[in-house]
Protein backbone atom coordinates (compact mmCIF):
# COMPACT_ATOMS: atom_id res chain seq x y z
CA UNK A 1 0.00 0.00 0.00
CA UNK A 2 1.25 3.50 -0.81
CA UNK A 3 1.56 6.42 1.58
CA UNK A 4 -1.27 8.94 1.57
CA UNK A 5 -0.67 12.02 -0.54
CA UNK A 6 1.17 10.40 -3.45
CA UNK A 7 -1.46 9.56 -6.04
CA UNK A 8 -4.64 10.70 -7.70
CA UNK A 9 -5.55 10.99 -11.33
CA UNK A 10 -3.90 8.87 -13.96
CA UNK A 11 -0.66 6.92 -13.66
CA UNK A 12 1.99 5.28 -15.85
CA UNK A 13 3.44 1.83 -15.16
CA UNK A 14 7.08 1.37 -16.15
CA UNK A 15 8.59 -2.06 -15.41
CA UNK A 16 9.13 -1.87 -11.61
CA UNK A 17 7.80 1.67 -11.10
CA UNK A 18 4.54 3.58 -11.12
CA UNK A 19 4.59 7.29 -11.97
CA UNK A 20 1.69 9.40 -10.78
CA UNK A 21 0.84 12.91 -9.65
CA UNK A 22 -0.72 14.42 -6.56
CA UNK A 23 -2.00 17.80 -5.44
CA UNK A 24 -5.21 19.64 -4.73
CA UNK A 25 -6.16 23.29 -4.35
CA UNK A 26 -4.19 24.75 -1.45
CA UNK A 27 -1.73 21.83 -1.33
CA UNK A 28 1.68 21.29 -2.89
CA UNK A 29 1.76 19.39 -6.18
CA UNK A 30 4.11 16.49 -6.92
CA UNK A 31 5.18 14.00 -9.56
CA UNK A 32 5.71 10.73 -7.67
CA UNK A 33 7.66 7.54 -8.40
CA UNK A 34 6.36 4.48 -6.54
CA UNK A 35 7.95 1.03 -6.33
CA UNK A 36 5.51 -1.30 -8.07
CA UNK A 37 6.24 -4.25 -5.78
CA UNK A 38 6.27 -2.63 -2.34
CA UNK A 39 4.21 0.53 -2.85
CA UNK A 40 7.03 2.56 -1.29
CA UNK A 41 7.39 6.16 -2.49
CA UNK A 42 10.84 6.40 -4.07
CA UNK A 43 10.74 10.03 -5.17
CA UNK A 44 8.48 13.09 -4.97
CA UNK A 45 9.36 15.84 -7.45
CA UNK A 46 7.68 19.14 -6.58
CA UNK A 47 5.67 20.63 -9.44
CA UNK A 48 5.11 24.37 -9.83
CA UNK A 49 1.37 23.80 -10.16
CA UNK A 50 -1.23 21.05 -10.43
CA UNK A 51 -0.77 18.46 -13.17
CA UNK A 52 -3.77 17.71 -15.37
CA UNK A 53 -2.46 14.29 -16.40
CA UNK A 54 0.70 12.36 -17.32
CA UNK A 55 1.49 11.47 -20.92
CA UNK A 56 4.06 8.83 -21.83
CA UNK A 57 5.88 9.86 -25.01
CA UNK A 58 7.36 7.46 -27.58
CA UNK A 59 10.90 8.55 -26.63
CA UNK A 60 10.26 7.50 -23.01
CA UNK A 61 9.88 10.99 -21.57
CA UNK A 62 6.87 12.05 -19.52
CA UNK A 63 4.90 15.14 -20.55
CA UNK A 64 2.95 16.85 -17.77
CA UNK A 65 0.35 19.38 -18.90
CA UNK A 66 -0.25 21.60 -15.89
CA UNK A 67 -2.21 24.67 -14.92
CA UNK A 68 0.66 27.08 -15.73
CA UNK A 69 2.33 25.29 -18.65
CA UNK A 70 3.59 21.99 -20.00
CA UNK A 71 6.58 20.26 -18.37
CA UNK A 72 8.70 17.37 -19.59
CA UNK A 73 10.59 14.85 -17.47
CA UNK A 74 13.07 12.14 -18.36
CA UNK A 75 12.69 8.80 -16.58
CA UNK A 76 14.72 5.64 -17.00
CA UNK A 77 14.72 2.32 -15.18
CA UNK A 78 17.99 1.87 -13.29
CA UNK A 79 19.22 -1.68 -13.22
Domain-embedded: residue 78: no
Domain assignment of residue 14, yes or no: yes
Classify residue 53: in a domain, yes or no: yes
Q: What pTM did the predictor assign?
A: 0.79
Angle, alpha carbons 51-56-59 (nearest 5°) = 130
Give a yes or no: residue 26 inside a domain.
Answer: yes
Could you tell me if residue 49 is inside a domain?
A: yes
Rounding to the nearest 10 degrees, give the CA dihedral for residues 13, 59, 79, 46: -60
Per the structure, the count of domains in the chain is 1
Structural domain that includes position 68: 8-73
pLDDT along the chain (79 residues), means of 10: 65 90 81 91 88 90 88 74
- Supply the CATH number for residue 68's domain: 2.40.10
Amino acid sequence: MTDSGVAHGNFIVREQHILTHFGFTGEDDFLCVIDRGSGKTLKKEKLKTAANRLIEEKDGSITVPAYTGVYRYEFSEKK
